[in-house]
Structure 1
Amino acid sequence: MRRRLPTPSPSEFWSIWHVDPLAVALLVLAAGTYGWLVVGAHRSRRPWPWWRSLSFAGALALFAVLQFGIVGMYDQTLRWAFVLRLALLFFAVPTFAAFAAPVTLLRTGGPARLAHAASAVMGSRPVRVLGTAIVSPLVALALFCLLLTPLSAALRTSSVGAVAITVLVPLLGFALLAPLSEPGVLRSSTFVTAEFLLAFVELMLDAIPGIVLRITNHVLDGATVMASGPAWFPSPLRDQHLAGDLLWFIAEVADVPVLISLFVRWQRTDRREADDVDALSDEEMDALTRAHLARRD
């Protein structure tokens, strides 16, 4: 007889739904605000690209699945559901939202006062710091290292923790990713090259918590009582191993859009620096060359 795995079947996975009032309110607010800004952009005769609106719809759809589906239903009971929800809210939802460029849309179709405020925020020092591949791997590593401690169980079973994750984790992920995809934060080509190297280091750093969860043969968060539920509910240790598999996989895949964003930023930076050089006169170019050679002497 074939042994049944401690995971839901595809039909069970997609048949379990519930209503989350907070998620409904957030979805209505986000969709309404983005739609209002798109209308404003069209009214100002600056049509908004359809693919950006589609990307934002994808972010809302994924958020809805995570909140209303089986992951949101059992995230306080099962480690793998909690980890899947946390990781996708931090990585995937902000990725779709960042490619939708809501800050650029605000500066395009929003009120002038809000547009100026958005420009000021994007040019601020905190955003410039967050929008680097130096900070984001450290934040992700710190966040997922919490899963290796007893604080993970306390956060997973807390209603306050569930609300905080729903609201704050996507915002944190977006704050880290948006400066990479939004125009307006300028870097030198040397700095962007360094970011590429650090992003590859991130491929290894982000996977560490998932690997530890997967290979450890005791329950790290101290919650050793098996949860009651459907027949496919796993044991606490098997639940932890499933959570580690999911986190390991998601952490590796999530770096792909970051690398794409860095490549786009490098293209913009290289084009901007090339235009600056082309704009120099022959006398200015000679003076720049002499200054460069003098620094090397």
Structure 2
Amino acid sequence: MTYGWWVVGAHRRGAPWPWWRTLSFAGALVLFGILQFGIVGVYDQTLRWAFVLRLSLLFFAVPTFAAFAAPVTLLRTGGPDRLARGASVLMGSRPVRVLGNAIVSPLVALALFCLLLTPLSAAIRPSSVWAIAITVLVPVLGFGLLAPLSEPGVLRSSTFVTAEFLLAFVELMLDAIPGIVLRITDHVLDGATRMAVGPGWFPSPLRDQHLAGDLLWFIAEVADIPVLISLFVRWQRTDRREARAVDALSDEEMEALTRAHLSRRG
């Protein structure tokens, strides 16, 4: 509802909002609803694969759709001025600058999914309290990692963005480690070896773990694609910004900058 009012506000201010961003926001809501009320939401406290699928999609997919909807940019465009100023301050804050790079993101994802390899996973999965916490906190965490990549409010140097590209490729391997371990291990890692009570198609605990590993492995690899796209968009913005800054220099300023650069190298 709030997003819709901001879209209306943007149109009133003469800044029509792209339809595909609104569609992306609607996709995030639809996917969130499916994860809550579909088969995954019904069996996530019983089956490992349903729990892992729900957790990974709440962390990767829902925030990805929400990030491409650019709610922060929309708030600046069509939202209340006070909230817009607060959003600008937030996007420029140190925590956002730390979260909004490809150095932190793979470490956070790796730490989160490594919990699935421990007995803590068996304690969290059947808990209703933890289910509510995951529903609220995991999408917020995922959005916090992705939003700075897709929002234009955080500026980086071209050198830093290039380093982020390299680290994003490392992330392709890091994110998959927990899924690979779940898939290739021949014993139940979290210690919950009792067969879940349910329909006849329920898998054994070990088979359930292997299915969870397959899903996590696949989703972790696919989820890096929007991150790479966001980094490419950021690189384009940074390159254009730095090119405009260089073009704006006078001949004397350019000569002084060249001398300063050569003196540093010497």
TM-score scaled by length of structure 2: 0.99
Deviation at 1:41, TM superposition (A): 1.1
Structure-1 residue corresponding to 2:188: 219
Amino acid aligned to 1:207: A
Equivalent-residue separation in structure 2 for 1:219 and 1:180 (angstroms): 37
Aligned to 1:164: 133
Shift of 1:149: 0.3
Question: C-alpha distance in 1, partners of 2:81/2:142?
Answer: 27
Per-residue Cα deviation, 1:77-121 (whole angstroms, up to 9, x for no partner):
000000000000000000000000000011111111000000000
Is residue 68 from structure 1 mapped to residue 37 from structure 2 by the alignment? yes
**1:54 Cα deviation from its structure 2 partner:** 0.3
Matched residue, 1:229: 198
Q: Distance in 1 between matches of 2:13 and 2:252?
A: 42
Matched, 1:89 2:58: yes
- The aligned amino acid for 2:45 is Q
Indicate the residue corresponding to 1:269 in structure 2: 238
Match of 1:127 among 96, 101, 106: 96
Q: Look up the equivalent residue of 1:261 and give its one-letter code.
A: S
> Percent identity at matched positions?
88
Q: Secondary structure at the match of 1:229?
A: coil
Question: Counterpart of 2:4?
Answer: 35
How far is the alpha carbon of 1:45 from its aligned partner? 1.8
Deviations 1:244-290 (A, max 9, x none): 00000000000000000000000000000000000000000000000
Output the CA distance in 1 between the equivalents of 2:100 and 2:174.
18
Distance in 1, matches of 2:12 and 2:134, equals 36
Q: 253, 256, 259: which is aligned to 1:287? A: 256
Q: Distance in 1 between matches of 2:76 and 2:246?
A: 29
TM-score using structure 1 length: 0.89
Q: Which amino acid aligns with 1:55?
A: S
For residues 10-25 of structure 1, what are the structure 2 equivalents within 5 Å? Answer: none
Whole-Å Cα distance in 2 between the matches of residues 37 and 82 of structure 1? 34
**Residue in structure 2 matched with residue 7 of structure 1 by the alignment:** none
Q: Structure 1: where are the runs of 5+ without partners? A: 1-31
Q: What are structure 2's unaligned runs of at least 5 residues?
A: none
Kindly tell me the number of residue pairs found equivalent between the two proteins.
266
Q: Which residue of 1 aligns with 2:81?
A: 112
1-structure distance, mates of 2:126, 2:197: 14
Alignment-derived partner of residue 14 in structure 2: 45
Match of 2:116 among 147, 167, 182: 147
Question: Aligned partner of 1:178: which letter?
Answer: A
**CA distance, structure 1, for counterparts of residue 190 and residue 210 of structure 2:** 12
Aligned mates of 1:158, 1:221 — CA distance in 2 = 15
Structure 1 stretches (4+) deviating beyond 6 angstroms? none
User: How far apart in 1 are the matches of 2:81 and 2:26?
Assistant: 25
Letter paired with 1:247: L
The CA distance in 1 between the partners of 2:191 and 2:251, in whole Å, is 70
Amino acid at match of 1:189: S
Provide the C-alpha distance between the structure 2 equivalents of 1:35 and 1:150, rounded to a whole number of angstroms.
43
